[in-house]
């Protein structure tokens, strides 16, 4: 029926035929309807519009073996804080960087694990250089923090991770001076070599050692990491102050 009305209205070429009924003429007077097809959104488009924005990726956790730009940035921050020499900024997280991180963590009151996670990274963002007990030239061993400060020219030149006496073998606390120095000293009681030893009280010395963990581990001496031993040795001299307490 609708198709017949449509054909009459169009006239198949123009005017309506004389025999068209009133009903037909009425139909021809009706406005034509236009059909608009609306396409539904594609599944991919709908999923894209509904998908939440990805959160910014978190900063990577840095540890031994990490490398590239993030490590170089970390090393630059540690060098600014004196925990690492600028010459060691190389983008490789090796043992020297590990000791530098432990020194920073110890000084900042963080867990000393050598891993740069959210807490260490947050502390780095607002950290300042260590403040010594005295600005006179010398060594300061801050036993609670397990950090050695090398002070010269009125300021801290380096902050270095060390390991002092373990429970039952406490490191003497007080104000001392370096009594004598030995490039290769032999410990009679413990049958072990102590390279680059600087003695400050009886048989107690600050010296290089291969094992310097992130906790007090010695028999009372102050262990210095091999990576930093030359720096400490070259900074010392007989008669220089060495304090192990304020």
Look up the CATH superfamily of 63-129: PGBD-like superfamily/PGBD (1.10.101.10)
Considering only CA atoms, which of 160, 169, 223 is closest in space to residue 196?
Answer: 223
**SS3 of residue 87 by DSSP:** helix
Considering only CA atoms, which of 115, 104, 119 is closest in space to residue 160?
Answer: 104
- Mean predicted confidence (pLDDT) in 130-158: 98
Look up the CATH superfamily of 131-246: L,D-transpeptidase catalytic domain-like (2.40.440.10)
Reported confidence tier of residue 24, pLDDT bands at 50, 70, 90 = very low
DSSP assignment of 172-187 equals P-SEEE--EEEEEEEE
Considering only CA atoms, which of 199, 187, 228 is closest in space to residue 100?
Answer: 228
- Mean predicted confidence (pLDDT) in 203-208: 98
User: What pLDDT, on a 0 to 100 scale, did the predictor assign at position 58?
Assistant: 79
User: What pLDDT, on a 0 to 100 scale, did the predictor assign at position 32?
Assistant: 41
User: What pLDDT, on a 0 to 100 scale, did the predictor assign at position 149?
Assistant: 98
User: What pLDDT, on a 0 to 100 scale, did the predictor assign at position 53?
Assistant: 53
User: What pLDDT, on a 0 to 100 scale, did the predictor assign at position 73?
Assistant: 97
User: What pLDDT, on a 0 to 100 scale, did the predictor assign at position 125?
Assistant: 96
Average pLDDT, the chain: 85
Helix locations, the chain, DSSP H? 2-10, 22-29, 43-50, 69-80, 95-108, 118-125, 226-235
In the chain, list all ranges with CATH 2.40.440.10: 131-246
Q: How far apart are the first and last CA of the chain?
A: 108
Specify the range with the lowest mean pLDDT, choosing from 43-47, 216-220, 236-240. Answer: 43-47
Specify the range with the lowest mean pLDDT, choosing from 19-23, 51-55, 69-73. Answer: 19-23
In the chain, list all ranges with CATH 1.10.101.10: 63-129
The two structure tokens encoding residue 108 = 């900042």
User: What pLDDT, on a 0 to 100 scale, did the predictor assign at position 110?
Assistant: 98
User: What pLDDT, on a 0 to 100 scale, did the predictor assign at position 95?
Assistant: 98
pLDDT tens-digit map of 81-128? 999 999 999 999 999 999 999 999 999 999 999 999 999 999 999 999
Pairing of strands 222-225, 204-209: parallel
Buried/exposed code over 53-79 (b: 16+ C-beta within 10 A; e: otherwise): eeeeeeeeebbeebeeebbeebbebbb
Beta bridge partners of 176: 242
């Amino acid at each position: 029926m609708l198709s017949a009305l449509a054909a009459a209205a169009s006239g198949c070429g123009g005017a309506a035929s004389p025999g068209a009924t009133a009903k037909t003429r009425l139909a021809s007077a009706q406005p034509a309807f236009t059909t608009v097809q609306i396409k539904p959104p594609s599944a991919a488009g709908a999923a894209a519009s509904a998908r939440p924005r990805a959160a910014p990726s978190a900063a990577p956790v840095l540890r031994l073996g990490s490398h590239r730009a993030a490590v170089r940035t970390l090393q630059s921050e540690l060098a600014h804080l004196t925990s690492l020499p600028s010459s060691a900024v190389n983008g490789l997280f090796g043992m020297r960087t590990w000791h530098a991180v432990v020194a920073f963590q110890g000084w900042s009151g963080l867990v000393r694990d050598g891993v740069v996670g959210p807490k260490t990274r947050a502390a780095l963002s607002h950290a300042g250089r260590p403040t010594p007990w005295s600005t006179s030239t010398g060594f300061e061993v801050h036993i609670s923090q397990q950090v050695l400060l090398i002070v010269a020219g009125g300021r801290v030149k380096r902050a270095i991770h060390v390991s002092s006496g373990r429970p039952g073998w406490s490191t003497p606390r007080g104000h001392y001076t370096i009594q004598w120095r030995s490039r290769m000293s032999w410990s009679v009681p413990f049958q072990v070599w102590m390279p680059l030893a600087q003695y400050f009280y009886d048989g107690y010395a600050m010296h290089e050692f291969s094992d310097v963990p992130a906790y007090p581990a010695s028999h009372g001496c102050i262990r210095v990491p091999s990576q930093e031993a030359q720096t400490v040795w070259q900074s010392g001299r007989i008669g220089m102050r060495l304090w192990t307490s304020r």
